Amino acid sequence: MKIGFIGLGNMGGGMAANLAKAGHEVHAFDLSGEALAKAGAAGCHPVSDAADAVKHMEAVVTMLPAGKHVRSVYANDVVINAGPGTLVLDCSTIDVDSARDVAEMAKAKGILPVDAPVSGGIAAANAGTLTFMVGGSEEAFKRAEPILSDMGKAVIHAGDSGAGQAAKICNNMLLGASMIATCETFKMAEKLGLNLQTFYDISSKASGQNWSMTSYCPVPGVGPQSPADNGYTGGFAAALMLKDLRLAMEAAASAGAEVPMGAAAAKLYEQYAETNEQGGMDFSGIINMLGNS
């Protein structure tokens, strides 16, 4: 299949390479010459103009930093150059309103849009094991599924346009809050004189059990191997968690949802990520800021 790919950064680079590996003809564009060269080495056809990653393509994937980039690329490159019936897949994490707006722009031109944000980081993008949460019509989802499957291990239809982004930020708000709750609980257990491995053995089999504890334990040496065992590096950056929590706060305000725990998590990640360049640390590193006084 002829697929255009715009945005070949940390995530998009590996995803475009996996599409090429699956046998697609991938016309890849990025503003960065270095990213373009890497995509060329990974089997894609680098193009020097975004229009060439859209014209005559059956599908176009975008993987860009934020909503403003997606709005601009859709308005200036994608919607203008894509023919009717082209499938467009935005895999970036952006606000729900932008996702719905660009989908409307596309639909008005007879283009089939899906928002398909991902769960999983750079390692999963490289390995082709991402999980995609997809918003769009039944027809668009049916066409998107095989393409997304070439880059991931799970592709789930969340609902109509914007539903993929909604599912992603709801999930990450829950993750941010549960990570903080897990961190402060281990700190308190320590202050109460509990052995942390013993507390893990109990709580991981009791009602406090949660993913942040049993799959991604923020305490070094406890639970399975995690970024905590690697100096809080190599996982999901605190700056990206903060980005997702801010998107969640925007969405909550726009939907009129009360989210006191999510709001507290957003505040604490702001405090953590915006101090001493900790935004680059794994998000479980917030344990080092909590429960110390």
Distance CA 169, CA 174 (A): 8
Is 26 a binding residue for ligand NAD by CB under 6 A? The answer is no
Distance CA 168, CA 53 (A): 27
DSSP 18: H
Q: Which of residues 167-196 bind ligand NAD (CB under 6 A)?
A: none
Would you give the distance in Å from CA 137 to the centre of its chain? 21
Q: How many residues bind ligand NAD (CB under 6 A)?
A: 26
What lies within 8 Å, CB to CB, of 93 at 6+ separation is: 117, 118, 165, 168, 169, 243, 244, 247
Is 41 a binding residue for ligand NAD by CB under 6 A? The answer is no
Q: Which stretch binds ligand NAD (CB under 6 A): 116-124, 179-187, 206-214, 267-275?
A: 116-124
Question: Closer CB to ligand NAD, residue 68 or residue 191?
Answer: 68
Judge contact between 57 and 34, C-beta under 8 A: no
Give the chain's radius of gyration (CA, Å): 20
Distance CA 17, CA 43 (A): 6
Question: Closer CB to ligand NAD, residue 9 or residue 291?
Answer: 9
Question: Closer CB to ligand NAD, residue 57 or residue 189?
Answer: 57
Question: Closer CB to ligand NAD, residue 92 or residue 284?
Answer: 92
Active site residues per annotation: 168
Is 64 a binding residue for ligand NAD by CB under 6 A? The answer is yes
Helix, strand and coil percent figures for the chain, each rounded to 5: 55, 15, 35
Question: Closer CB to ligand NAD, residue 1 or residue 240?
Answer: 240
Q: Which of residues 196-235 bind ligand NAD (CB under 6 A)?
A: none
Is 65 a binding residue for ligand NAD by CB under 6 A? The answer is yes
Question: Closer CB to ligand NAD, residue 13 or residue 223?
Answer: 13
Q: Which stretch binds ligand NAD (CB under 6 A): 62-70, 107-115, 181-189, 254-262?
A: 62-70
Please give the single-letter amino acid code of residue 4: G
Q: Which of residues 83-102 bind ligand NAD (CB under 6 A)?
A: 92-93
| Locus of tokens 């539903």 | 163
Q: Which of helix, strand or coil describes residue 39?
A: helix
**Which of 3, 118, 148, 177 is in the footprint of ligand NAD by CB under 6 A?**
118
To the nearest whole angstrom, how small is the minimum distance from the Cβ of residue 214 to ligand NAD? 21
| Locus of tokens 């150059």 | 81
**Which of 4, 5, 11, 111 is in the footprint of ligand NAD by CB under 6 A?**
11
Is 10 a binding residue for ligand NAD by CB under 6 A? The answer is yes
DSSP track, 104-145: HHHHHTT-EEEE--EES-HHHHHHT-EEEEEES-HHHHHHHH
> Which residues form the interface with ligand NAD (CB under 6 A)?
6-12, 29-32, 35, 50, 63-65, 69, 73, 92-93, 118, 121-122, 236, 240, 243
